[in-house]
């Protein structure tokens, strides 16, 4: 390297160091403002959050533009990766124009607030009920008309978003184009260490591999729902009415187990009943999850985690109850925000969310632009991998289960897991597929709702309980759409978690079926997991995947391996049933 090249490299390194320091400062400011807004929803906190996020976006965009102009020859491989990560570090890039930038960030904050304040008074109830309460009704009620009323009531909350969502798309695309992307969807897909079109093709490949598994589960559930509700409600060979699936978006179906589980061995325990009988508090639930990570060799969570997290819904103010893990200072101020209820589902969710927090702590020594997961699917998959280890054996070891049933009686457990995880796969795929098409212009504003339901029928095989029109905006009834949160991470996580779990089962030399393996208490598994987590985003994600699994591409066979006993049973059950819609 000659003197001119050395000087150029030193100047580029200095610029990137200054960039990381400034963006760290603004990221902390934005995170703190957003935390206050999420835990104290008012117009004032909305404005403060929007302003702080706007400053972060503006500085990120400006520095990404300048970094694009750095001479390629002046960049080491690590510096070149930092420049690439800088360009895709935010899910929203505002235009350089200040008024347009403020309009965009204000629109996103406003949509989040509309969602957080959303409620509906079901027919005959009199009092408005928030999303948590409405979702609970969908799991408890078995009258189709009441379920349809609840479903339509919540989805009406999103109607006011529609005009401003159209403007949000235009402004977000303008910002993405200013830093060299054709649209925001292409910018999102560029986060995955491959060309946007290559990534789209890769996830389509994985979906094709998983589609037969989903269709087998769909056919089975449809037949059982038809038996319960009758042919006038559920068709023999058409889409399933979404309001019957026990979830506001039809994305997970585990609450249907009592209706569809006939012929399987019932789970040998009721964790919800056990937790409630023991008067388990929200804090107790979080302690159980922390001890899981400690058993693998991780440190206990910082004292500030327990002092600053939100574990229960306050009675005196509006909050965003959607469970999330936070990293406020990108060092050790990690927090959990969740309105915890004492249920088995929440027990699993807490293990998942702490996976985020421990990932955040693991990569805290990386340069700021690498303080993230290998890709966003990794962040989701780590927590889900831990949740897969919440097995009867694990519950027995921590004293929540007196005895475990033999593996031959696990069909009910596998079915419940499939209703949660396998049922989710097409929804996890189509949410961003819809947005990619919206951002690219393939879906025009006049087709927002019709195209949403076309994709949901094509991939999920579901239908709304009543006719929908373009006066509706049903995508906005999902938090991640209203809040500009990319969703493909969840699809990736539903593959990666099974790859991680299969690899960890091999590390602990598990002898039984894959679904019975728990890595609780295994130091070797913990060390391998920590090694991958500590890499952060410093290397392409296939390198991180290889670090733990020895594999370099997404592999749906891990999902098949996990569910194999159930799939063989479903094939027998579906022998005389139509499959598909």
Q: Supply 55's token pair.
A: 């400053």
Query: What pLDDT shows up at residue 507?
Result: 95
User: How many whole angstroms separate alpha carbon 38 and alpha carbon 34?
Assistant: 6
Number of Cβ atoms within 10 Å of the Cβ of 1: 10
Closest by alpha carbon to 25, among 63, 81, 71, 70?
A: 63
Cα distances (angstroms) measured from residue 229 to each of 121, 241, 251: 25, 11, 20
Cα 503 off chain centre by = 22
Closest by alpha carbon to 347, among 387, 402, 300, 392?
A: 387
Closest by alpha carbon to 310, among 39, 543, 569?
A: 39
pLDDT digits (tens, 9 = 90+) for 356-400: 999 999 999 999 999 999 999 999 999 999 999 998 889 999 999
Cβ proximity of 526 and 519 under 8 Å: yes
* Sequence-ordered list of residues with C-beta below 8 angstroms from that of 516, at least 6 positions apart, any chain: 391, 392, 393, 407, 410, 510
Give me the numbers of helices (H) and strands (E) for the chain, helices first please: 24, 6
Bridge partners (DSSP) listed for residue 327: 334
Bridge partners (DSSP) listed for residue 463: 241
89: DSSP letter: S
Residue-by-residue pLDDT tens, the chain, 581 positions:
555 565 578 899 999 999 999 999 999 999 999 999 999 999 999 999 989 988 998 899 889 888 888 887 889 999 999 999 998 988 998 898 989 999 998 999 899 989 989 999 998 777 899 998 999 999 999 999 999 999 999 999 999 999 999 999 999 999 999 888 999 999 999 999 999 999 999 999 999 999 999 999 999 999 999 999 999 999 999 999 999 999 999 999 999 999 998 877 666 678 999 999 999 999 999 999 999 999 999 999 999 999 999 999 999 899 988 899 999 999 999 999 999 999 988 999 999 999 999 999 999 999 999 999 999 999 999 999 999 999 888 999 999 988 776 666 788 889 999 999 999 999 999 999 999 999 999 999 999 999 999 999 999 999 999 999 999 999 999 999 999 999 999 999 999 999 999 999 999 998 888 999 999 999 999 999 999 999 999 999 999 999 999 999 999 999 999 999 999 999 999 999 999 99
Q: What is the mean pLDDT of the chain?
A: 93
Q: pTM of the prediction?
A: 0.90
pLDDT digits (tens, 9 = 90+) for 548-563: 999 999 999 999 999 9
Signed CA dihedral, 226, 232, 238, 243: sign only: negative
3-state secondary structure of 236: coil
Q: Supply 237's token pair.
A: 């060979």
Closest by alpha carbon to 477, among 115, 4, 69?
A: 115
Bridge partners (DSSP) listed for residue 335: 326
């Amino acid at each position: 390297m000659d003197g001119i090249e050395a000087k150029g490299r030193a100047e580029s390194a200095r610029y990137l160091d200054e960039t990381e320091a400034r963006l760290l400062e603004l990221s902390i400011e934005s995170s703190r403002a957003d935390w206050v807004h999420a835990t104290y929803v008012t117009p004032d906190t909305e404005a403060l959050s929007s302003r702080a996020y706007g400053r972060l976006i503006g500085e990120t965009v400006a520095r990404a533009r300048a970094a694009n102009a750095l001479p390629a020859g002046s960049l080491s491989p690590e510096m070149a990766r930092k420049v690439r990560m800088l360009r895709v570090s935010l899910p929203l890039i505002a235009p350089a124009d200040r008024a347009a930038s403020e309009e965009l960030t204000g629109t996103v904050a406003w949509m989040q607030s509309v969602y957080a304040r959303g409620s509906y008074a079901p027919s005959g109830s009199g009092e408005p009920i928030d999303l948590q309460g409405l979702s609970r009704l969908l799991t408890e009620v078995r009258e189709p008309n009441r379920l349809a009323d609840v479903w339509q009531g919540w989805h009406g909350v999103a109607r006011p978003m529609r005009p401003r969502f159209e403007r949000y798309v235009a402004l977000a695309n303008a910002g993405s184009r200013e830093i060299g992307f054709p649209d925001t969807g292409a910018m999102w897909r560029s986060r995955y260490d491959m060309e946007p079109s290559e990534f789209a093709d890769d996830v389509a490949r994985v979906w094709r591999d998983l589609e037969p598994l989903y269709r087998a589960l769909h056919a089975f559930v449809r037949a059982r729902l038809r038996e319960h509700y009758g042919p006038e409600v559920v068709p023999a060979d058409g889409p399933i009415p979404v309001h019957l699936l026990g979830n506001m978006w039809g994305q997970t179906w585990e609450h249907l187990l009592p209706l569809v589980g006939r012929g399987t061995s019932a789970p040998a325990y009721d964790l919800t009943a056990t937790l409630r009988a023991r008067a388990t508090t929200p804090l107790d639930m979080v302690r159980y999850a922390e001890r899981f990570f400690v058993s693998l060799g991780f440190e206990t969570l910082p004292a500030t985690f327990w002092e600053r997290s939100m574990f229960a819904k306050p009675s005196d103010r509006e909050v965003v109850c959607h469970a999330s893990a936070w990293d406020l200072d990108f060092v050790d101020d990690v927090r959990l925000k969740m309105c915890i209820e004492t249920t088995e589902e929440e027990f699993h969710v807490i293990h998942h969310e702490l996976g985020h927090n421990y990932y955040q702590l693991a990569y805290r020594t990386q340069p700021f632009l690498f303080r993230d997961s290998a890709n966003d699917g990794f962040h989701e998959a780590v927590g889900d991998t831990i949740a897969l280890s919440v097995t009867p054996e694990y519950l027995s070891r921590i004293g929540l289960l007196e005895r475990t049933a033999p593996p031959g009686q696990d069909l009910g457990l596998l079915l419940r897991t499939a209703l949660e995880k396998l049922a989710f796969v097409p929804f996890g795929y189509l949410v961003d597929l819809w947005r990619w098409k919206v951002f690219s212009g393939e879906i025009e504003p006049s087709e927002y709702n019709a195209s949403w339901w076309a994709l949901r029928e094509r991939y999920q095989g579901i239908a709304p309980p009543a006719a929908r029109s373009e006066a509706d905006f049903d995508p906005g009834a999902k938090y991640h759409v209203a809040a500009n949160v990319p969703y493909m991470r969840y699809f990736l996580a539903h593959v990666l978690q099974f790859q991680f779990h299969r690899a960890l089962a091999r590390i602990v030399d598990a002898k039984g079926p894959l679904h019975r393996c728990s890595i609780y208490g295994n130091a070797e598994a913990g060390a391998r997991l920590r090694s991958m987590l500590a890499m952060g985003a410093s290397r392409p994600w296939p390198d991180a995947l290889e670090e733990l699994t020895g594999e370099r591409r997404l592999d749906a066979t891990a999902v098949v391996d996990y569910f194999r006993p159930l799939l063989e049973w479903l094939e027998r059950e579906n022998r005389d049933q139509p499959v598909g819609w």
